[in-house]
Amino acid sequence: MDRFKDAPSEVLTQPRPSLAVTRPPKVDLWATVVGMLDEVAERINLDPGIHAILRQPERELTVAVPVTMDDGSLKVFTGYRVQHSSARGPCKGGIRYHPNVDLNEVRALAALMTWKCAVIGIPYGGAKGGVQCDPRQMSRNEVCRMTRRFTVMILPFLGPRKDIPAPDVNTDAQVMAWIADTVSMFQDKSMMEIVTGKPVPLGGSVGRKEATGRGVAIVTRELSKQKNKPLSETTVAIQGYGNVGSSAATILHEMGCRIAALSDVSGGLYSSRGLDIPDINRHVDAHPGHLLEGYEGAGVEHIDNQDLLTSQVDILVPAALENQIHAENASLIRAHTIVEAANGPTTPEADEILHDRGIVIVPDILANAGGVVVSYFEWVQDLQGFFWEESEVNHHLERIMVQGFQKVWEYSQHARVPMRLAAYMLAVNEVAQAVETRGIFP
Amino acid sequence: MADTLLTPKTDTAHRVVMDATLFTSLPRPPDAFSTPEAVLAQALKFCAQKMGLDDTQAAVDRLRQGESDACGYCLYSIAKQVAGRIGLLDEGARAAYLLDYDATPEDICFGKADVEKPIIHMIIWTERKTAALSSLLAALDRGLVQAYADVLRTSQPGEPAPGMALHADTAADAAAIGVVLDAQVVDDTEVESRTGYAGLLFSIHHRPIQIWRR
């Protein structure tokens, strides 16, 4: 994975920012993703032709999105939709609204979706989209008009058997509902299966909210099994107590783990005897900002986020933000296992340090795949027009996460490579096999 | 103070050019150095505009009814104004970012702002951290908390505002709100090494939005 590390480390060699510099150096994510593919291709001896196919997105669309703003002025936004690969099935990936969205970023994220769907074994390819905008400066009506116009502009790409968008940064169930409605109006029929991440009354799936956290808990349990460590003797620290972190904590607690440390933006809690998760959940539910702030319990110490990362536990679950485990704190981490619930919580430099220290990392591409798995269930239910009970959603999620984990764990052991590399090697191989089996048209 | 503000700065080391404690105590015109009350007034205007309301009073009413959208727009405008003011007052400030912990595929992006616990998560990138900047941020926060509590205060003592748990005692309301401005200051060294909150500036999945830059 040397090339995977190369691109970000280039940033470090750039000169110190001068007073004129007001933007952090930008990492070329697409170059990083292609570099990672090249490295994996070499390791798995990938056919050069297939390698060349996977080095490019299948389709890219850049669109102008004119929107009449509330004050009557006209503003033209730039939007993108990129389909990296449809070899394994319809393309799947979110749509994000952010001022810094660009084509290279969208390409890279589309490719990452290809690998994510492949490693967890759901029948999708990868896609991503975005509009360059700051939705917080816009009224809801403006965001709605922009979403509808963007949807129409990328409509040739979309379809329940072609490309199924989902929420991403700064988009949500409401935005998905607008997309589904716009497509339904154009097709003159109900097309709720065109997107996932919808509200449940519009065809969303029950169990979606807890899905990522549940998936994190399942892979954590499976890893403990592999290490012959009973969950009742396992201590866990979780950074981030939002949707993912709180679901993971609750389910791990129910499984018998001792949750020794938790943190959110307001600070952290630590108890070597284990925190009372149901009591903490009651506190968080009652807190106006849904925070840990103000929680007091017998034997509970207040800690900060850095204390949490370096706390004496068996398993550390970063469930908050990216780049939290970096070169400067990686050597201080005392957990012997890290389960990446957040996207990209470990920098490449830290990854290397942790690997050298023998710390096992369950990579984000696998650990937090529960969300996309239940998105897949949402699509399946929409296509069937038949909706499952939450127990059925959880049952199938369990099965898919266990299979995904075992596949990566066994390959990692067999090939003697870290789980992150094993996951990417398996994913690229899965997609390559699909390309090869389907053959090249015509 | 006016002299201080108008005097060209000749020293190379950056400094906060205004005593932070004076920020909230001196009467000022509604310009770059206006009071937290003026910042909030501007935020309510922005809120009314974005929500298609008749006037700022309507925005205040929405806030008092506990409407998340109204709170979200107010906080965004406050953040932009605060960032602009920090840029004016701190020569070393390079950029300011708004960080939304909930802007991920796992959470919703609209309607999350909590009227009773309004909070702006900001990252301020400055050449280097100074005590003066910390004091300025703390003073700004205190002023904003008080001004926000004043806006929400509608009812008689002991009687909650409609839809709100907050009550008519401003000091108690301010204490309940706690913090409006959660500003994390990062310096060049941290940006260079991408550590701490500076690491978030390089985020792909959780990227903060730049709301001001020099």
Question: pLDDT per residue over A272-297, tens digit each?
Answer: 999 999 999 999 988 877 789 899 99
User: How much is the pTM?
Assistant: 0.86
Question: pLDDT per residue over B18-47, tens digit each?
Answer: 444 444 444 444 444 468 888 999 999 999
Residue A6 φ/ψ, nearest 5 degrees: -60, -50
Decide if A320 and B101 are in contact by the 8 Å CB cutoff.
yes
pLDDT of residue A290: 79
Q: Is A292 within 8 Å of A241 (Cβ atoms)? A: yes
* B191 contact residues in A (CB cutoff 8 A): 17, 24
**What letters, b where the CB count within 10 A reaches 16 and e where it falls short, cover A33-51?**
bbbbbbbbbeebebeeebb
Give start and end residues of each alpha helix (H) in A121-273.
140-153, 173-187, 208-226, 243-255
Decide if A23 and B210 are in contact by the 8 Å CB cutoff.
yes
* B104 contact residues in A (CB cutoff 8 A): 169
Among all residues of A, which ones are annotated catalytic? 128
Decide if A24 and B114 are in contact by the 8 Å CB cutoff.
no
What percentage of chain A exceeds 90 in pLDDT?
Answer: 82
Q: How far is CA A97 from CA B73, B112, B153, B182, in A?
A: 17, 17, 35, 24
As for the ipTM of the complex, it is 0.81
pLDDT at A118 over 80: yes
The amino acid occupying position A419 is M
Tell me the shortest Cα–Cα distance from B113 to chain A, in angstroms. Answer: 8
What percentage of chain B exceeds 70 in pLDDT?
Answer: 67
Q: In 10 A of CB B158, how many CB atoms?
A: 8
Q: Is A135 within 8 Å of A170 (Cβ atoms)? A: yes
Which one of B165, B182, B209 has the shortest CB-CB distance to A134? B209
- CA gap A136, A147 in Å, rounded: 14
* A135 contact residues in B (CB cutoff 8 A): 109
Identify the bridge partners of residue A315 per DSSP, sorted by sequence position.
Answer: A236, A337
Query: Closest Cα partner for A265 from A235, A236, A245, A247?
Result: A245
Q: Is A90 within 8 Å of A77 (Cβ atoms)? A: no
pLDDT of residue A10: 33
pLDDT of residue B150: 85
Q: In 10 A of CB B53, how many CB atoms?
A: 18
Question: pLDDT per residue over A418-432, tens digit each?
Answer: 999 999 999 999 999
Tell me the three state secondary structure of residue B30: coil
Which one of B50, B98, B194 has the shortest CB-CB distance to A326? B194
Question: pLDDT per residue over A336-371, tens digit each?
Answer: 999 999 988 998 889 999 999 999 999 999 999 999
Which one of B165, B192, B199 has the shortest CB-CB distance to A16? B192
pLDDT at A380 over 60: yes
pLDDT confidence band for B152 (50 / 70 / 90): confident
- CA gap B30, B42 in Å, rounded: 9
Residues in chain B, overall count: 214
pLDDT at A54 over 70: yes
Query: Closest Cα partner for A21 from B184, B196, B192?
Result: B192
Tell me the shortest Cα–Cα distance from B210 to chain A, in angstroms. Answer: 8
DSSP per position, A415-441: HT--HHHHHHHHHHHHHHHHHHHH---
Identify the bridge partners of residue A267 per DSSP, sorted by sequence position.
Answer: A264
What percentage of chain B exceeds 90 in pLDDT?
Answer: 34
Higher pLDDT, A14 or A163: A163
Q: How far is CA B74 from CA A328, B67, B68, in A?
A: 37, 11, 10
pLDDT of residue B7: 35
pLDDT of residue B25: 45
pLDDT at B9 over 50: no
Quote the tokens at residue A406.
Answer: 């075992």
pLDDT of residue B69: 87
Identify the bridge partners of residue A224 per DSSP, sorted by sequence position.
Answer: none
Question: pLDDT per residue over A223-246, tens digit each?
Answer: 999 999 999 999 999 998 988 999
Query: Closest Cα partner for A244 from A220, A212, A215?
Result: A212
Residue A46 φ/ψ, nearest 5 degrees: -70, 140
What mean pLDDT do residues B185-204 have?
87
* A131 contact residues in B (CB cutoff 8 A): none
- CA gap A104, A62 in Å, rounded: 11
- CA gap B56, B41 in Å, rounded: 8
* A18 contact residues in B (CB cutoff 8 A): none
Tell me the shortest Cα–Cα distance from A398 to chain B, in angstroms. Answer: 19
Q: Is A308 within 8 Å of A330 (Cβ atoms)? A: no
Q: Determine the distance from the C-alpha atom of residue A251 to the mean position of all C-alpha atoms in its chain, rounded to a whole number.
A: 19
Query: Closest Cα partner for B63 from B118, B113, B115?
Result: B115
Q: Is B103 within 8 Å of B145 (Cβ atoms)? A: no
Low-confidence winner among A46-60, A257-271, B96-110, B151-165 (lowest mean pLDDT):
B151-165
Which one of B108, B203, B214 has the shortest CB-CB distance to A323? B203
- CA gap A147, A178 in Å, rounded: 7
What mean pLDDT do residues B143-149 have?
88
pLDDT of residue B102: 59
| Three-state secondary structure of B116-162 | CCCCEEEEEEECCCCHHHHHHHHHHHHHHHHHHHHHHCCCCCCCCCC
pLDDT of residue B165: 54
Decide if B105 and A135 are in contact by the 8 Å CB cutoff.
no
Residues 6+ away with beta carbon under 8 Å from A98: A130, A132, A133, A134, A169, A170, B207, B209
**In the predicted model, what is the mean pLDDT of chain B?**
76
* B73 contact residues in A (CB cutoff 8 A): 136
Higher pLDDT, A84 or B111: A84
Between vectors from CA A44 to CA A326 and to CA A338, what angle results, nearest 5°? Answer: 30
Decide if B52 and A141 are in contact by the 8 Å CB cutoff.
yes
Low-confidence winner among A54-58, A312-316, B56-60, B177-181 (lowest mean pLDDT):
B177-181
Closest-CA residue of chain B to A134: B209
For helices A390-415 and A419-438, angle between their N-to-C axes, nearest 10 degrees: 100
pLDDT of residue B20: 44
pLDDT at A18 over 70: no
Whether residue A442 is preceded by a cis peptide bond, meaning omega within 30 degrees of 0, is yes
pLDDT at B158 over 60: no
Quote the tokens at residue B187.
Answer: 């310096």
> CA quadruple A27, A33, A34, A40: dihedral positive or negative?
positive
pLDDT of residue A61: 98
B78, B194, B203: best to mutate for the A interface, most A CBs within 10 A: B194
pLDDT of residue B31: 43
User: What residue ranges in A293-340 does DSSP mark as E strands?
Assistant: 301-303, 315-318, 337-339
Tell how strand A91-97 and strand A163-167 pair up: parallel
* Biggest CA-to-CA distance, chain B: 54
Q: Is A172 within 8 Å of A178 (Cβ atoms)? A: no
Strand order across the A258-264 sheet = A301-303, A267-270, A258-264, A235-239, A315-318, A337-339, A360-362
- DSSP designation for B18: S
Rg of chain B's alpha carbons, rounded to an integer?
Answer: 18
Decide if A70 and B50 are in contact by the 8 Å CB cutoff.
yes
Query: Closest Cα partner for B165 from A287, A296, A281?
Result: A287
pLDDT of residue B169: 59
